[in-house]
Amino acid sequence: MARLTEEQEAKRREAKMSEPSGLLRSERMCMVQLIVQHDAAQHTVEELGALGSLMFIDLNEGVTAFRRTFLPELRRCDEADRALRFIGDQLAAVGSSPPRASWRSELRVSLPELVSELEDAVKEVRQLQASQRELASNYNALIELSHVLRKCDGIFSEARQGEFGDGGVQQVPRSLSYAELIRAPSLGLSLDSYGNHASSNYNSETSGDELPGDELDGGSAADLERGGARRRRGGGDGGGMAALRGGDATAAGLRLGYVCGVLPTARLAAFERVLFRATRGNMFMRSATIDQLVRDPKTEELQHKAVFLIFFSGQQSFARMAKIADAFGAHRYNYPAKYSKRAALLSQALTRLDELSHVIDHVVARKEALLSSLAARHGAWRTHLARQKGLYNALNLWNYDLTRKVLIAEAWCPASMIEETQEALRRATSRSGAHVPSILNVLETDEAPPTYFRVNKVTSAFQEIIDTYGVPRYGEINPAAFTVITFPFLFGARPAPPLARVMFGDVGHGSMVTAFALYLCVNETKMLALSARLRDDIITMAVRGRYMLLLMGIFSIYCGVLYNDVFGLMADFFGTSWTETPPRHGGPRELKAHGMVYPFGIDPGWHRSANELSFGNSYKMKLSIVLGVAQMLLGLGISLVNALAARNALDVWCDFVPQAIFMLSIFGYLVFCIFYKWSIDWVAEERVAPSLITLLISFFMSPGEVPAEARLYAGQERVQVLLLLLAFVAVPWMLLAKPLLLRRRHLARAGYKNVACRPTARDDPAAARGLLRSTRDHDTDEDSVSVASSNNGKAYAEEFDFSEIMVHQVIHSIEYVLGCVSNTASYLRLWALSLAHKQLSMVFWEMVMLPPLQSCRAGGSSWRCAVPLFFGFAVWVVLTTAIICCMEMLSAFLHALRLHWVEFQNKFYKGDGKKFVPFSFQTMVENMDDEE
């Protein structure tokens, strides 16, 4: 073909760009090249991100993420992101929900300034947190100290009042003094060890009025031992203290040390047992439970705790007990031996508690004020940071030309937005003050463009259903355009009599779904805000699919009216055409008038007929097959449109034609027989209606013979033999024709294989994109266009492999032949689900509502009628809403989804395209909200 002139090429490109686009086909896409001055790059990306018209191509595919140009800026963004997450966690901890800023909001601060501001805020919050934790720990420690002082006094008071059999007065034991530690070598104590334990809450005091010679009298230790004898060796509240032995020392000449503290009640028994074994019984322990919950100074958890008091002898015993107490999480406190010091210490603790409470209140108020100010700015910071991260990620896809100090970018752009993109570049150049304007070039390329459909709030849910299965190829017909109607219809066509609501058809249930969907649509702004706030998946899906629910409800009502079905019961909107003769015996037998027909839908007289079940099942099964074959033929027709649009003659003659012949010869003929049988009044002709099942069996098993019970019309044998032959011819046609023709075409071109050709995208992506080219040699070559359609948009095919093509075609042919049978049978799910829905609705009515109604009809007081009817109606509403309108609706949704994905789309849909994801600040912010 002769090369097109530049003028013709420009006209052709302009005509392509002006072609209308919509939901049926992808919008026309083109590749553009941007050349931007370094100083204007940031402003350019900001303008393009606000516009959302470009999908950038990575020009640095071989460069790792750590060698990208704008890596330092991205690291700053990560630092700011960590700071923002920390602030967000603090706000969530106090129950604060920061307002979300619009994606258009932009802070006039640089990235370093933002990072510095966030770091200062985090530092201040951490300081306040550390101060609050330290103050709270001190406050809780003072609370425990006050409990220790009170409970230990109570322990000794109890000992004085009733635990001594001789009625003597118990002296309060005191810890060993400093001088006594030096004079008591038999205890194994030293000055150094005393100094260490004094800092570890070892309670040894030295006071001016306390003399070194003061001792416990000889009976005190014995009396204490007797008082705790009942708690010895594993007792709940105390332990034992063995008689001290060694050298010339006596019980009267020894001094006792003691340790007191607080321990969780759950650990008290184990703590006592471990202490008893570690000291070999040389200890005496008393405990008292604290009546109220106490907050732990370290973990800040409310716990049930107890105060313990342990008497011991010897420095080694103290060292063991200190380690064991620390291991069990006990907190040890100082307990002065003299009452005056204990009273003064308690007074000081209470005074300190009052002071700390005021300080803590001030710190908490300061922290709340700081978090409140941070919450007001959190949304703007978050949005600005998302924009900055997106900006530098986009710039990392660009190529930096060091010689010209410019940034070069390539991107996909909808042809309809070229002018808007150029205007955005002009605005960016004006904002940055650059002297050289940015340049936008439209490039010719062999790469398959991404697919882009303009959707609105009504069609977006249906497009998401299609994209979940696979993104359409560029130029391929979008199944979503048909799904908008067929999906709600198949959903709404479910249980009742015939095909009863193909899958959910019912006036009552459909009205409930429609009312719910209308509420979501009318209050969509409020519901969208609610779903964003709650972040619940079920609520979000319902709100986003509100228009799909609305269409489902409308089609359910339509099919319910068609089948006169209201909450599973047959309705009579226009009056039946049949009379009952005799009443309640066999149902309707005669028409009220000759030729009388029910105005719309199925006559309710069938509900009372003796053959209601057989008629309903027969009708539902036939209608399911009709709907299934019609939808599959629609898919075949779409494949023809796709092949014609790609100007691919092979796909038309080697795929569509044999597939259509095979489908119409068998299943098209079956649908014809169904309608032909419906069109004949077999009763008026005094003939038994032929069996279509017998007809279908004889069609395959005995060609040329038609049993008497399967005869529909004259000449049926010849027609069925002809159709069966066409079906058998179509199988090898679709199996062999395309691979053999492709091989012949390849061999015909083999003589030109040494001629220089344009490189493909696999060999050289830059050359394949045709940078700085304005013309293309093969645009008008029909063969190259045909090859392009079979290679997902690439105008130059890859290496030819006949065996691979043959295997692919064999698999495709077998899948189609077997799929025609299995897919047609799959549509019978419409019949099966209709039976389940119908029977379930009738069971709820007869078991829940009918008994109260019958009791009211039987007579009696109004209360005996109203109370059962009220509760019966409440139970019926709950069951109808929960099981039928929720569970059954979900079941119908899933089955309709399967019928579209498998039975409908596999006839034409490839689903291996690339979705157009533009660089857009709005999308980034919305995705960030969804992730959170």
Q: Are 187 and 315 in contact (CB under 8 A)?
A: yes
Instruction: Identify which of 227, 229, 175 has the alpha carbon closest to the alpha carbon of residue 206.
Output: 175
Instruction: Identify which of 664, 646, 80, 704 has the alpha carbon closest to the alpha carbon of residue 385.
Output: 80
CA distance 130 to 122: 12
The verdict on whether omega for the bond into residue 582 sits within 30 degrees of 0, i.e. cis, is yes
- List, for the chain, all residue ranges whose pLDDT scores fall below the cut of 50: 1-4, 15-18, 20, 163-254, 494-502, 583, 585, 754-758, 760-763, 766-768, 770-797
Return the percentage of the chain with pLDDT > 70, whole number.
78
Which amino acid, one-letter code, is at 275? L
CA distances from 15 to 41, 278, 444, 772, 857 (A): 32, 95, 15, 21, 75
CA distance 460 to 543: 12
Instruction: Identify which of 871, 869, 867 has the alpha carbon closest to the alpha carbon of residue 850.
Output: 869
- Going by the DSSP 8-state scheme, the letter that residue 915 receives in this structure is B
Bridge partners of 307?
Answer: 262, 288
The pLDDT of residue 303 is 87
Long-range pairs, 133-140, Cβ under 8 A, ≥24: 133/300, 135/356, 135/359, 135/360, 135/363, 136/295, 136/297, 136/300, 136/360, 137/297, 137/298, 137/300, 138/297, 138/356, 139/353, 139/356, 139/357, 139/360, 140/294, 140/295, 140/296, 140/297, 140/300
Q: Which two tokens stand for residue 446?
A: 């062999």
Q: Provide the total of helices (H) and of strands (E) in the chain, helices listed first.
A: 31, 15
The pLDDT of residue 520 is 93
Which amino acid, one-letter code, is at 142? L
The pLDDT of residue 688 is 87
Q: Are 561 and 495 in contact (CB under 8 A)?
A: no
Pairing of strands 399-401, 331-333: unpaired
Domain map (residue ranges) of the chain: 106-160+256-380, 459-729+803-907
CA distance 891 to 830: 11
Cα of 331 vs its chain's centroid, Å = 46
Instruction: State the sign of the Cα–Cα–Cα–Cα dihedral 370, 371, 372, 377.
Output: positive
Q: Reduce the DSSP state of residue 101 to 3 states and report it.
A: coil
Quickly list DSSP for 155-179.
Answer: HHHHHHHHS-TT-PPPPPP-PPPHH
Enumerate residues 6+ apart whose C-beta is below 8 A from 141.
Answer: 297, 331
Q: Are 510 and 557 in contact (CB under 8 A)?
A: yes
Q: Are 790 and 642 in contact (CB under 8 A)?
A: no
Instruction: Identify which of 502, 461, 460, 459 has the alpha carbon closest to the alpha carbon of residue 892.
Output: 502
Per-residue pLDDT tens over the stretch 770-801: 443 333 333 434 443 333 344 444 444 457 88
Side-chain-side CA neighbours of 754 within 13 Å: the count stands at: 1
Q: Which class in CATH covers the domain with range 106-160+256-380?
A: alpha beta
Side-chain-side CA neighbours of 404 within 13 Å: the count stands at: 10
The pLDDT of residue 580 is 65
Q: How many residues does the chain have?
A: 932
Place of tokens 């060698």: 67
CA distances from 47 to 50, 218, 429, 919 (A): 5, 94, 10, 11
The pLDDT of residue 655 is 94
User: Based on the number of CB atoms within 10 Å of its own CB, is 788 exposed (0-12), middle (13-18) or buried (19 or more)?
Assistant: buried
The pLDDT of residue 55 is 96
Enumerate residues 6+ apart whose C-beta is below 8 A from 39.
Answer: 432, 433, 434
Q: Are 773 and 443 in contact (CB under 8 A)?
A: yes
Instruction: Identify which of 194, 188, 215 has the alpha carbon closest to the alpha carbon of residue 282.
Output: 188
Place of tokens 């009052």: 354
Place of tokens 């004085």: 160
CA distance 121 to 371: 9
* The overall pTM is greater than 0.75: no
